[in-house]
Structure 1
Amino acid sequence: MIKPLKIIQSDPLLEEFQFVIQQRIDATSKKEKELCDSSLSNFANGHHYYGIHRTDQNWIIREWAPNASEMYLIGDFSEWKENPKYQFTKDDNGNFELVLDLDQLDHKDLYKLILHWSDGSGERIPVWSNRVIQDSDTLLYSAQVWYPNETFDWQHEKKRQKYNSPLIYEAHVGMATEKEGVGTYNEFREFVLPRIHKAGYNTIQLMAIQEHPYYGSFGYHVSSLFAASSRFGTPEDLKGLIDEAHSLGIMVIMDIVHSHAVKNELEGIGNFDGSPHQFFHADERREHAAWDSLCYNYAKNEVLHLLLSNIKYWLEEYHFDGYRFDGVTSMLYYDHGLSRDFTSYKMYFDAEQDEDAICYLTLANKLIHEYNPNAISVAEEMSGYPGLASPLDDGGLDFDYRLAMGIPDYWIKLIKEQRDENWKVGNIFYELSNKRAEEKTISYAESHDQALVGDQTLIFRLLDKAMYDSMDKSSENLIVDRGIALHKIIRLLTLSCAGNGYLNFMGNEFGHPEWIDFPREGNNWSYKHARRQWSLLDNTSLRFENLNEFDRDMIALQNESNFMQASNIKCLQADEDNQVLAIQRNDLLFVFNLNPSKSLTYYGIPATPGKYQMVLNSDHPKYGGFDRINENILYRSKPEAAMARNHRVYLYLPSRTALVFKHIPSKPIF
């Protein structure tokens, strides 16, 4: 009898699919052996061969373009025309190579390629280019030779950390400043990084790093896989940002997009050598109808070489500490997960999955952990694919974490559809803490998705127009009072029930009032809503400061106690009549009174015998609360009856408050 895989031991309902799961394990192992003799890291070195490289003797430029018959390098050096001096030679494998003397190219020279194929030709940006810039007048893109005389000096390698409970600050460099324009890597390093460090987050997730021609795509329509977006600065600027983050003990992960690519032919790689299927599917699967983009063909070894090399490149060249993989659900299914509701396990194993994509994702994760054992990978995946964040040998895809994408949707649904007095605390606990036993998850109340124009952040849903005229600390507004109280409760509830990590999008920690709307024709190309208004936070007369103070102390609580490392989240009480929820995690007792109007006196909660010291109180005035609690009281548990072993701690619970107590063991008094 075959011993069940670990994910089946954890979830017996998967037993009938063990054969399919084992097939996927075997297919990955077979593909790895096919690709490399030694290690994936040695295989994923395409960036060391392809692209432009400077040696002591010459420049060497290589590209793979099997459908092309001729290739030329063009630039100022050739008057942007084809010149036999800059014609590549082609080998039998479709590789083109050009060798130039050192004096024929200089650092910062602009260049492109001209490719010819049987029925046409075209200018192209090299696939493996590591620097691409846009002309401010013509708006056209060109590759740029980027070989500064001095290599970047990494100063803080020894300070790089790994956290088992990532507290992720999701950030976009371009919209991170207050100016109505595009922020830079240097501005982020100088002005935003200190805020993140002060806020206590231990990991930064940088969005929109890979070059993308349309700024408003949020970085998800990638054109150049290996080029750090030049609209934010130079490669050295980005390295400086990451190095300084490391000096502060902060990990930096990148939002990587291997789920699809931009359709633009002049900037992208969709028709690089005149063939639409060089890197992408050739049939109806080529275009992603929902995203207006192209879908990679993960069955081709050349595509695996490209993408796996890209994985290694950012870890090696920029010292990123891992990745958040975009659009994993879209990769897993032929229909991109758009036409199924995932109410049955059969939907994960019904032959409608892209087995090649599953294989690629598993190899990518194996490569990440092989190259840097301290690096992490996070999957944006909403279908609930079993084993997503389980090791390959256990039957999984080897991601470290799954984003708990259902949680923000749950909060939105609750706020939109139910009155506060009808919120069911037991259901809230279930929705926030429910996860696969074998997986680690990253919880969040909202991310950039909820902040985009057309949607609403939590604070906007809670306050609506009152945000614009009633956020002054001197003003009195019941809508604002409710919104601020619930904003704090929702975030602490999400954190306290988090599987193994937590995520926040920049600005949401203080209730940023504006949505995100990138410059476009519909808003007259305005940057008004593509920025962060830090001045609102710094204005001590406004309540944004209160929300920020609470978030900072909430995050500090996790940093000090590391309660998220406790896999067991014990629900001590779910009182639906009074809307009181009590949770124990490690030595912390979290108590939430969600009742909109009822404060409870001498309210007993089941508790471990001992003393309880209050360590966080959402009702404190510095958090915008009403100061209804004496924080200096040391609470002692009491037996439920004479000589009883079961104890309760009796508390005063003001309406709409969240309280956290630290348990101090002591000998029970009977």
Structure 2
Amino acid sequence: MKPHLPDEEKSSALEARPQVQPRRLASHHHRQFEVMGAHPAERGTWFTVWAPNARSVGVMGNFNDWQCVPLQRVDDGSGRWSGFVEGARAGHCYKFRIQDAWGHWMDKADPYAFRMEHPPGTASQIWDLSHEWGDGEWMRTRWQRQSHRSPISIYEVHLGSWQREEDGRFLNYRDIAQRLAVHCHNLGFTHVELMPVTEHPFYGSWGYQTTGYFAATSRYGTPQDLMAFVDTLHQQGIGVFLDWVPSHFPADPHALARFDGTALYEHEDPRLGFHPEWNSLIFNYGRYEVRDFLISNALFWLEKYHFDGLRVDAVASMLYLDYGRRHGEWIPNAQGGNQNHDAVRFLQDLNTSVYAQFPDVHMIAEESTAWPAVSRPVDWGGLGFGMKWNMGWMNDTLRYFSRPHFYRHWHGDDIRFSAVYAFHENFILPLSHDEVVYGKGSLLGRQPGDEWQRFAGLRNLYGAMWTHPGKKLLFMGGEFGQAEEWHHERTLDWHLWARPYHAGLARWVSDLNALYRCLPALHANDFDAEGFSWLPCERHENTILSLLRRGGPDDALVVAICNMTPEPRTALRVAMPEAGTWHELLNSDAAFYGGSGVGNLGRVQATAHPVGGWPASALVAVPPLGTVILSNRPIPTTALTLGDSHARQ
């Protein structure tokens, strides 16, 4: 880039260029993207940037051979600088050149840029976000598809490593969309969740170290390509959630860090403004302009890209001033506590603003502590999220399923404890990317025993998960038993689908999703204690889980029984809510899924033999490391994607 112009040359350049009447920069509360950044006009582009402590600000780009054109300070006390540059048009790269109060010059990317250069380039790009959408039917019915009483089964995806070209190059958003839509249809997932696609210079951060908050990463194409991605999935009846990171940002010198020479977006004091765990900077949520930047960004992705919700990353790190810090490394709040009141206010304002404009989307918290009322309304004293990841269930469940089978008898509380708090929040049960990285191994690799037992154990884990109250989330590769730990630099091991056990696991996930979607008992009361009860066995066994799921008063009842050991139970007497015929809808031990074929020949008969206070009971064959799902009504074989379970015995 060429050196900046001396001050006298800047003045001459400003006077020489055609004068254009400056735009009136209204407040645009929570919609700053409408005026900030670069906005093409008929003969050029308007540039606006917030740099209140700068001595001078200019813009430069390949539209003028990187010669700096001064911007004018807006005379309204906002700290914004603005100007019109003729000849600057969509596709041109640019940066802001900022002189701080001490006379030092910095070249900065635009915080509001709609597109950025492909990394390792760091310049912003002028861009027009127009797109002709074809998802009108989805948008009109989204409120029904995404209600709390609807089935929500989420497939979490990292776009760069799901699939690639044969030579290792990234696929375009449009190509991924076509393949992903087919895959989700075949497996029965209702939604996709994208790990962050905001621009990030370091690919190994998986997108969680964001530098371009308003820019879709150019690794996979243009903004319109990402819009087409969402559009394609919507037209196929699949929703799309986006991971969003308002908790911290990287200190890359071209981005937000000390943007005008001062701690503008972050805190000056590192005890408030630096995150030691991630070597990144923390937003100053007490500053109005920062809150407005972030809330505007959330609304931007929901409006311009039609995303169906945002999963907010690392909420716990926002709520606690001492998160990831040792004694003396943090500053207590005014009451001497560790709660970050500014962050609480921000999250409440964020969720209130989003739901006011988009009542049919979901705001989802990744929050790993016992902070109360995360998914309760703000006017009830909650944070206002629609749903929350159930990290307690995830940790307890994976710890239990990693134990050798023999020791599980002494750890029954691990697998049952989640029912104590299952309805305190609106929970999603997540088996996410975080559980298959950093030496943890794959979900399949963490199962004990020989190969058969590992696959049976993973099918059993999914059976317990899909029948447990809460919406579902599974990271890519889990659906077919990815053997190796996930790594962002390579694709999934798709060749494993040719192996019977892996293909059988995929069929099991597909049928679980199909059953989950067609039976209200498995989804309508995910957040209501009326929809769940434990069912006792005549002789209590810590390694047997038996539970009842209910929907509405006219819906079929569902009973699920899980055996956590490799020993089959051929005549286990289990309490039932009513006498009569109970149909075996699914059995994870069916040969069709790779099992040994232990089952109940399609049905069991419950008699008026009370057990544990329940009016009836039935003798059930529960297979080794298996899940059996029963209902008091049969369902059509067409309700399952691959046929009925009796045919698979």
Which range, TM-score by smaller chain?
A: 0.7 to 0.9
1:118-267 mapped onto 2 (5 Å cutoff): 118-119=101-102, 120-134=104-118, 139-147=120-128, 151-160=130-139, 161=142, 162-163=145-146, 164=148, 165-179=151-165, 180-266=168-254
CA shift, 1:339, in A, is: 6.1
Partner residue, 2:67: 81
Task: Give the C-alpha shift of residue 641 in structure 1.
Answer: 7.2
Q: Does 1:611 align with 2:571?
A: no
| Alpha-carbon distance between aligned partners in 1 of 2:190 and 2:406, rounded to the nearest angstrom | 33
Contact 2:544 2:561 in 1 (8 A): yes
CA contact 2:189–2:513 (8 Å) conserved in 1: yes
Q: Match for residue 597 of structure 1?
A: 567
Gaps of 5+ in 2: 1-26, 328-332, 551-556, 635-649
Question: Residues of 1 paired with 2:407 and 2:623: CA distance?
Answer: 15
Structure-1 separation of matches of 2:61 and 2:253? 19
Q: Is 2:262 the counterpart of 1:304?
A: no
Displacement of 1:434 in angstroms is 3.3
Distance across 2 between alignment mates of 1:75 and 1:154 = 31
Question: What is the deviation of 1:147?
Answer: 2.5
Cα 1:184/1:641, change in 2 over 3 Å: closer
Q: 1:623 aligns with which of 581, 593, 608?
A: 593
Q: Is the 8 A contact 1:114 1:124 kept in 2?
A: yes
C-alpha deviation, 1:533, in angstroms: 2.3
Contact 1:159 1:247 in 2 (8 A): yes
- Aligned residue for 1:488? 459
Contact 1:199/1:555 (8 A) holds in 2: yes
Question: Is 1:452 matched with 2:437?
Answer: yes
* Corresponding residue number in structure 2 for 1:532: 492
The two structures have a TM-score, normalised by structure 1, of 0.82
1:413 is the counterpart of 2:399: yes
Q: Deviations over 1:357-403 (max 9, x none)?
A: 00000111111111111010110001111011101111101111110
* Aligned amino acid, residue 593 of structure 1: N
Is contact 2:45–2:89 with CA below 8 Å preserved after alignment?
Answer: no
Please report how far the alpha carbon of residue 604 of structure 1 lies from its aligned counterpart in structure 2 after TM superposition: 4.1
Alpha-carbon distance in 2 for matches of 1:58, 1:87: 15
The AA in structure 2 aligned to 1:388 is V
- 1:561 paired residue number: 519
- Which of 353, 361, 365 aligns to 2:347? It is 361
| One-letter amino acid matched to 2:524 | Q
User: Counterpart amino acid of 1:301?
Assistant: Y
Q: Distance in 1 between matches of 2:157 and 2:88?
A: 36
Q: Secondary structure at the match of 2:469?
A: coil
The aligned counterpart of 1:20 is none
Residue 370 to residue 602, structure 1, CA distance change in 2 (3 Å): closer
Aligned residue number for residue 315 of structure 1: 302
Asked whether the 8 Å contact 2:365–2:387 carries over to 1, the reply is yes
Question: Contact between 1:177 and 1:187, CA under 8 Å: does it hold in 2?
Answer: no
The alpha carbon displacement at 1:552 in A equals: 0.7
Question: What residue in structure 2 maps to residue 659 of structure 1?
Answer: 628
Residue among 64, 73, 77 paired with 1:90: 73
Counterpart code for 2:82: E
Once the two structures are TM-superposed, the CA of residue 653 in structure 1 deviates from its matched residue by: 2.0
Within a 5 Å distance, the mapping from 1:264-413 to structure 2 comes to 264-266=252-254, 268-275=255-262, 277-284=263-270, 285-336=272-323, 351-413=337-399
Q: In the TM superposition, what is the alpha-carbon distance from 1:265 to its structure 2 partner?
A: 1.1
SS, match of residue 485 in structure 2? coil
CA deviation after TM superposition for structure 1 residue 462, in Å: 2.0
1:659 Cα shift? 0.3
How far apart in 2 are the matches of 1:419 and 1:582? 18
Q: In structure 1, what is the Cα distance between the partners aligned to 2:101 and 2:373?
A: 46
- Residue identity over aligned pairs, in percent, reads 26
Q: Measured at CA, do residues 645 and 173 of structure 1 come closer, stay the same or move farther in structure 2, by a change above 3 Å?
A: closer
Which of 612, 616, 631 pairs up with 1:647?
616
Displacement of 1:503 after TM fit?
0.5
- CA RMSD after TM alignment: 2.4
Aligned residue number for residue 516 of structure 1: 486
For residues 122 and 253 of structure 2, the distance between their equivalents in structure 1, rounded to whole angstroms, comes to 11
Equivalent pairs counted in the alignment come to 577
One-letter amino acid of the counterpart of residue 105, structure 2: S
Match of 2:11 in 1: none
> Is this contact kept in 1: 2:442–2:486, CA < 8 A?
no
| 1:57 Cα offset (Å) | 5.4
Tell whether the 8 Å contact from 1:421 to 1:596 is kept in structure 2 after alignment: no
CA, structure 1 residues 414+453, in 2 after alignment: closer, same or farther (shift >3 Å)?
Answer: same
Q: CA deviation at 1:610?
A: 2.5
CA distance in 1, matches of 2:409, 2:29: 53
1:419-498 paired onto structure 2 within 5 Å: 419-423=405-409, 426-435=412-421, 437-444=423-430, 446-462=431-447, 479-498=450-469
The residue type equivalent to 1:494 in the other structure is M
- Distance (whole Å) between structure 2 residues aligned to residue 584 and residue 56 of structure 1: 64
Larger RCO (CA under 8 A, 6+ residues apart):
1
Structure 1 residue 423 displacement after superposition: 3.5
Distance 1:231 1:358, change over 3 A: same
Q: 1:323 to 1:579 in 2, by over 3 A?
A: same
Query: What residue number does 1:579 align with?
Result: 543
Question: Which string of whole-angstrom CA distances, capped at 9 and with x for unpartnered residues, describes residues 466-525 of structure 1?
Answer: xxxxxxxxxxxx6011101110111111221133x110001111111222234xxxxxxx
Contact 1:403 1:442 survives alignment (8 Å): yes
Q: In 1, distance between residues paired with 2:592 and 2:366?
A: 35
Q: Which amino acid aligns with 2:351?
A: N
Correspondent of 2:36 among 50, 75, 97: 50
Shift of 1:351: 2.5
- Secondary structure of 2:162's aligned partner: coil
Q: Is the 8 A contact 1:424 1:576 kept in 2?
A: no
Q: Which moved more, 1:655-664 or 1:572-581?
A: 572-581
Shift of residue 417, structure 1, vs aligned partner: 4.8
Distance 1:375 1:400 in 2: 9
What do residues 400-423 of structure 1 show as CA deviations (whole Å, max 9, x unaligned)? 111001223223322445544534
| Partner SS, residue 314 of structure 1 | helix
- State how far apart, in whole Å, the 2-side matches of 1:174 and 1:53 are: 30
Give 1:605 shift. Answer: 3.2
After superposition, the C-alpha distances for 1:610-663 in whole angstroms (9 at most, x for unaligned) are 22011001111111111122533x322111179x98211122223221100111
Query: Unaligned stretches of 5+ in structure 1?
Result: 1-40, 341-346, 464-477, 519-526, 666-670
Q: Quick one: which amino acid aligns to residue 456 of structure 2?
A: A
- Check the 8 A contact 2:95/2:109 in 1, yes or no: yes
Offset at 1:426? 4.7
The residue type equivalent to 1:552 in the other structure is S
User: Is the 1:606–1:648 Cα contact (8 Å) retained in structure 2?
Assistant: yes
CA shift in 2, pair 1:645/1:618, >3 Å = closer
Secondary structure, in 3 states, of the residue corresponding to 1:377?
Answer: strand
1:553-590 Cα distance to aligned partner (Å, 9 max, x none): 01111100032222231100265547322110010010
Structure 1 position 216, deviation (Å): 0.3
For 1:536 and 1:502, the matched residues in 2 are separated by 24
Please state how far the C-alpha of 1:193 moved relative to its aligned partner: 2.3
Q: Which residue of 1 is the match for residue 505 of structure 2?
A: 547
